[in-house]
Amino acid sequence: MLKRKIVIDTDPGIDDTIALTVAINSGLNIELVTTVFGNVNLEQTTINALRILEFLGKDIPVAKGVPRALFFDPGIDGSHVHGVDGLGGYPMPYPKTKVVDQVAVEAIKDLIEKSEENITLVALGALTNIALFIKIYPHLLDKIEEIVVMGGSLGAGNVNSAAEFNTFKDPHAAKIVFDSSVKVTVFGLDVTRFCLVSSQKLEENKNKSKVSSMAREILKGYIEENNELMMHDSAPIAYLVHPEIFDIEDKYIDVSTDERAPGALVSGFWTKEKDKKPNVRFAVNVDSKKFEEWLLANLV
Ligand code: RIB
Ligand code: CA
């Protein structure tokens, strides 16, 4: 899994920052980072992606994505969790580097066309860029190894009782991705709420390096429950490095685009869909201890 060619689509975002950091420190081969609206607006998520990569000393191209959802615009962002700057006010220097000329969908297309190997797309925000790629370049889908998604919840939501934030922000895009012909592996709140790191352990590690200090400080403003922090966006990264710590099941999952429950995931047992063949692979369990050990080992 480590040598796969990876594109990370992200809306940094505090937990996106941690995910990008552990992705780089785990040795993943990240060819491109693309940005999407979500936690904060697209301008800010794009600046943040550049800031994070410069802070980490990584020369990875960044391509700017789309500023809004395909159809549904709930009019909310994640700034109440991630701060108005998207990084919880952490004083990460503003970037000197610029985005590439192509927009996200075109940068992904160019990468795929130039690559002999298949490309893995990792989505840590709304799925709008990925859905647009699927619709605009259907003839290139066989060059996508897998789409690995942080999003959705078969259980309770976090943006409301039914929906998780990323699928809520663009339910139509999520439905396009889930129903595509590509291998899609989904990490919903069902497991990401158990992808935890202890704030005490972050505190103990904070003086080890610039990265461990940043991780402690940037997470100080993040939602904490019982001294634990949910590292939602690091779950897909952990899967690419240590797939064995997750249990994953093939399921038929529909994404509600109904305005009464936008972004809610539906997967019935005794419904008319029960004879539907599975459309996604869905993570149903995680070894939280091994997840935390891996995360902390890569936040130094
Ligand atoms: O629900 C968690 C997701 O929403 C994460 O991707 C977090 O960054 C926010 O975008
Ligand atoms: Ca995110």
pTM for this predicted structure:
0.97
How would residue 291 be classed by pLDDT, with cut points 50, 70 and 90?
very high
Closest ligand relative to 192 C-alpha: 1
- Residue 2 confidence (pLDDT): 63
Q: Let me know if 232 is a catalytic residue.
A: yes
Query: Residue 107: is it exposed, middle or buried by C-beta count within 10 angstroms (0-12/13-18/19+)?
Result: buried
Q: Ligand 1 pocket by C-beta < 6 Å: which residues?
A: 11, 13, 15-16, 38-39, 78, 124-125, 150, 158, 164-166, 232-233
Between residues 47 and 276, the one the model is more confident about: 47
Write out pLDDT tens, residues 249-261. 999 999 999 999 9
Higher pLDDT: 275 or 106? It is 106
Q: For tokens 């019982």, what's the residue?
A: 226
Averaged pLDDT score across all residues of the chain: 95
* 283 close to 187: Cβ distance less than 8 angstroms: yes
* Single-letter amino acid code for the residue at 217: E
Across 111-147, b (16+ Cβ under 10 Å) vs e yields bbeeeeeebbbbbbbbbbbbbbbbeebeeeeebbbbb
pLDDT of residue 74: 78
Closest among 156, 155, 131, 149 to 141, alpha carbons compared: 131
Looking at residue 273, its pLDDT comes to 53
* pLDDT band, residue 270 (cuts 50/70/90): low
299: tokens are 């936040």
Grade residue 272 by pLDDT with cuts at 50, 70 and 90: low
Mutate to test the pocket of ligand 1, among 9, 11, 190 (most ligand atoms within 8 A of CB): 11
Any idea which residue has 């006010």 for tokens? Answer: 89
DSSP string, 256-297: --STTSTTBEE--SSSGGGGSPP-EEEEEEE-HHHHHHHHHH
User: How large a percentage of the chain has pLDDT more than 90?
Assistant: 91
| CA 28 and chain centroid, separation | 15
Q: Which residue in 80, 86, 100, 110 sits closest to 20, CA to CA?
A: 86
pLDDT computed for residue 260 by the predictor: 92
Catalytic choice (80, 82, 172, 232) = 232
What is the structure's pLDDT at 75?
A: 82
Please return the burial class of 179, using the count of CB atoms within 10 Å of its CB with bins 0-12, 13-18 and 19+.
middle
Distance 212 CA to ligand 2 centre (A): 20
Residue pLDDT, tens place only, 165-191: 999 999 999 999 999 999 999 999 999
Q: Would you say residue 274 has pLDDT above 80?
A: no
Average pLDDT on 261-267 reads 95
Q: Are 73 and 109 in contact (CB under 8 A)?
A: no
pLDDT (0 to 100) of residue 221: 82
Question: Is 271 a residue whose pLDDT tops 70?
Answer: no
Q: Which residues, 6 or more positions from 156, have their beta carbon under 8 angstroms from its beta carbon?
A: 162, 189
Percent of the chain with pLDDT over 70: 97
* Mean pLDDT across 102-114: 98
What is the pLDDT, as a whole number, of residue 268? 73
Closest CA to 25 of 1, 50, 2: 2
Tell me what pLDDT residue 277 has.
87
Distance 131 CA to ligand 1 centre (A): 18
- How far apart, in whole angstroms, are the C-alpha atoms of residue 76 and residue 262? 13
Between the CA of 124 and the centroid of ligand 1 the distance, in Å, is 7
Residue 232 scores a pLDDT above 60: yes
Query: What are the start-end ranges of the E strands in the chain?
Result: 5-10, 29-35, 62-64, 119-123, 144-150, 184-187, 196-198, 224-225, 228-230, 246-251, 254-255, 265-266, 280-286
Least confident of 215-219, 221-225, 228-232: 221-225
Q: Determine the pLDDT at residue 225.
A: 86
Residue 1: per-residue pLDDT: 63
